[in-house]
Every structure is written in structure tokens, then in C-alpha cells.
Chains A and B, each alone.
Chain A
Amino acid sequence: MGFERLRFFNFRNLKDRELFLGARQVFLVGRNGQGKTNLLEAVHLLSVGSSFREKRDAALSRDPSRTTGLFASFAAGGAAVKSLSLQFSPDHRKELRVDEKTLADRRGLLSEMLCLCFVQQDMEFIVGSPEDRRRFFDQTLVLSDLSFLDALRTYRQVLKSRNLCLRENRDDVLEVYDGQLAAQGLILQNRRAELVREFDALFGALLAEISGAEQEVRIRYRPSWEGLCTTDEVMGHLALRRERDRLMGATTSGPHRDLCSYEREGREYSHFASTGQLRLCALALRVAQARYLSERTSRKPVLLVDDVLLELDPGKKSAFLARFPSYEQAFFTFLPDEGWRSYRTPDTLVLEVEAGDFREPGELLR
């Protein structure tokens, strides 16, 4: 069933109240700036522990001098109902709870929930900085296997220490960090390469089906340590670049410098694709991600779909909907005149959103 109840206070522009959902599809219908995306953000925060568009928790509070709270009851695949809560206090403390038990780390939440969003910001996975592009694959790997999160965290910690040693000329410890960086980095590199290989076929076929284009877009992964397979090889490489690293005051090679690109006929796709084509690319990535994770984790995701149907022409819209991944529950946002009525099913809850409040639609929307 997914989210059955949601309650929020002091969150964005949403009025402090409780919402009863209890439907497999939830349509949020309203004009711009009324609070549709804020509700999706609340669901995302409760499922993942972070926002899909805001890095600073403080920005989520309507009144930063008061505590902000989000609460929900959630049940998936016939399992018992879980209670979820997330609170931010004015002194920047964040507390996540599942069934009244405080979680020390977001890690615990990720093993309970699978929530994916289709949002405007997804375009950054294709046209954004190398870091944005890597984030999509890292996110997928973390959600499919939490041990990747541990490897990623260890790598970052070692990287930070190594950079400090480079700046402070601590050669005695540097060699030790080289060994650890190589070992952890190769774990990341191998997992990313494996994922991109599997993903490339899945994504390429989906995109071709949705867009109706014949030429395939391929994902290309270019690891910074390309061709290096063993810890010794990487350590040799790090030793050769050490002087350069020292001059830069940072480690200039490694998985934190890996590149991912989308190419058609060998050319970087973002250089010549239209905004609409890139948008489709982002959608296909998310559909592929949902399918991949459902298969890997045997869990159906909660999907948050924000305004993405808006920019598709009718043919692509129906091609996209025909390939929409299976889900536990899905939230969609629509503008009032967007033709949402035709997508309704008997298990759809429609909520009209206005000035941060929700109500079941009156005659006008019906």
C-alpha cells in the first residue's frame, strides 16, 4: 500500500495537518507554487532521509526558530505498518526514527525503504558536472547493496586524510594511504563498471522504445584509473603522480575523478540533443533504475513523479506510461488543466493543492 498517513508541521509552505492517503496512486493537482512538490519532498525525506533538491536542512523549516517534523505510517507488500518520523530542531539536530527507534544513520532507513523520484533535477545526471553524473550510479549502487555505501564512505575518509598528508608533506603516512585508497577505490571502480555495463543495455533499449529513435544512446564509463586492475598497479600510478598531487594539494586521480558520458554515434549526446530529448533520457534512466532495483532488491519502489509528463508530446507520453515501472505507490503532480483525469484508476486519490493545503477536489476539478 505504501504511505497510509502523512503528518507535517512547520514544513515548507504546507499547512500543519494530517493527510490520509491509502491509495496506490496519489494525484496532486494545483497551480504552480501551491505545495505539490513540497509534499513529494516530505515523502522523499521520510524515505531516504534527505531532500532531492535542498542540501541545507534549515531551508526546509517554515519558521527556523521552531522544530520541523514529518511523520508517516507506511506498509509495503503486506508487511506490518511502520511508523516513520523525521525532526529537525532549530539547533540543526536531525532525528530519524523508525517504529520509535532512533536511527544513528540514514543507512538504516535505506534498508527499510525504496523511494525513487522523477524530477526536473534529474537532467543533471546527463548534462551536469562529473560529480552529478556519478551520483546517479552511486545512488543506484547504494540502493541495491548497502555495502557500497560503506566502501564509498571509507574511500572518502581515506581520500580526505591523504589530501591532508599531501598538503602537510607527511610522506611517512602517505604510502599507507595510497594502499588503502587503491584497495577501496578499486572496489568502487569495479562496481561502477559492472553497473554501467548492465545498465547500458537496459537504458538504451528503453530510451529507443520511448523516443521511437533508431540510434541508440550509449552510456560510457571512463574510470580515472582506466586499465589499472590491481592494488599494486594503482599504487604505482599514485607514486608516479605524487609530485603532481603534492603541487595541487589534492589527489588528482581516482574514482572521485571518474567520468560518465552519454554518447550517440560516438559524440557526447548533451552537446547536440534538444532539451526534450535530454528530458526523455533522464526519464529512461529513472525507469531503468526502478526496474533494476526492483529486480535486485525484490522490493517495489515508492515513485515520486514531479511535472515530468508536462513536456512530452502525446506519443512519447503514452510510450513512457506504457513502460512505467511497477510500484508500491506513486505520487504524481499535475497542473489543473493537464488532462490528469484520463490517467485516473479506481485506486487513485486526487488531492487539490492550494496555498499549502489539501482537499479532495470540488466540482471544478472533478
Chain B
Amino acid sequence: MNALERLVGNLARLPGLGKKSASRIAYYLLRADETLVRALAEDLGLLRQTIHACGVCGAYTDVDPCGICTDSHRDRSSICVVEEARDVLTIESIHEHRGLYHVLMGAISPIDGVGPDNLRIASLVERVSKGGIREVILATNPTVEGETTALYLVKALRDSGVPVSRIAFGLPVGGDLEFADKQTLARSFRGRNAF
């Protein structure tokens, strides 16, 4: 097996890529600009060496603690809890949350062998009980696992006395009621706000 075949095989193992897309990428790289290919190879090599989970919030970073945790302009009294490190990037992109984050590294799912002890829940409780936190925002996914995790966190944080909120679920902005799926529509009705 030559390098091209190995590359296609390895790319096809990545999420979201099939054999066809993998070979398209590999053939593109064969003819692409040399600097792009070198930069890509270098970044791939450095990825696991330099990027680690932040010791405080769990987001991926090359410095510890990460830039968000050390940013003095951020609101240090509010923590947004997410399932995965990539969720931090998503929420950061909307510039709505100016507080800190806490990445759980998953969600409770006994069927997949993930219990509360396998998640970064103890460190969250510790962070919150140290004081100075006025709100914990739960931004886990609207799935059974995400919901279970959120309900579990409410229980785990109860003794701290810190208010816990859950992000709202409902219709996409700019969307049309006609095209909304019924489950989302029903949920947006249950979570309606007073004008």
C-alpha cells in the first residue's frame, strides 16, 4: 500500500467523510500548493503535542489555564456548562455569553457506560462552591442524555445555593412556523415568555 492509498484509508476513518470524499481530498493535496500541505502536516503533528484540556474549564487550549479563564474582562460570576469542548467555540461565536465555561466532556448515558463520575462534574461543583459565582447556565444538548445531565446538575448544585438556569429551546430565528417540526414547536410553546 503506498502513501496515497494509506492517506485515503485514514481520511475515510474521520467523522463525516466517506471513501469518495477521502480520495477527493487526497488527490487535491497531491496537486495543492506545497506550503498548504506542509502547514497541514505540521499542524497535524503538533495537534496532540500542544493542545490540551484547560485545567480549569476543560476547553482545548495550548496554554493552561486557557485564554478565556485568564481573561480579566470576562464576567467571572457566571459559568456556562457544555457537554463538549467544541460547544465552547459555538457559544463564543455568538458573543452573547461574557462569562466563563465548564466542559463536562460528555453527558450521562448509562447505556454507553457514562455515569456522573466519568464526567467533569465534581470539578464544577468545586468551582461553584468556592464562591463568587452568581449563575450557572446549563447548555447541554436537548437530548435525553443532555436533559438527564442538566437535571442531575441541578441536584448536584442545589446545596451551593447558586441559581441554575437552562438555555431555552424553540424555533430558529428567521424560521417559519409552517416548517418547524412539531417537537420543537411544542417545546417552544411550553417555554414561551410573557411579553
Contacts and interface: CB of A to CB of B under 8 A. Distances in A.
Interface of A: 145-147, 150, 154, 157-158, 160-161, 164-165, 168, 170, 172-173, 175-177, 179-180
Contacts of A146: 182
A145 B111 contact: no
Given A161-B110, A170-B115, A180-B147, A150 B152 contact: no
B7 interface: no
Given A164-B110, A170-B110, A158 B144 contact: yes
Contacts of A170: 110, 115
Interface of B: 108-111, 115-116, 144, 147-148, 151-152, 155, 182-183, 186
A158 B110 CA distance: 10
A277 B118 CA distance: 57
A359 to B, nearest CB: 43
B108 A173 contact: yes
B111 A176 contact: no
A174 to B, nearest CB: 10
A170 B110 CA distance: 9
B116 A173 contact: yes
A169 B155 CA distance: 18
B155 A161 contact: no
Contacts of A176: 108, 148, 151-152, 155
B144 A168 contact: no
Nearest to A150: B183
A2 to B, nearest CB: 26
Contact of A161 (B116, B144, B151): B144
A112 to B, nearest CB: 14
Given A172-B116, A173-B116, A176-B152, A165 B110 contact: yes
B80 to A, nearest CB: 21
B144 A173 contact: no
Given A172-B116, A176-B148, A177-B148, A164 B182 contact: no
A147 B183 CA distance: 6
Nearest to B185: A147
7 contacts: A150-B183, A161-B144, A164-B110, A176-B108, A176-B151, A177-B148, A180-B151
Contacts of A165: 110
A160 B111 contact: yes
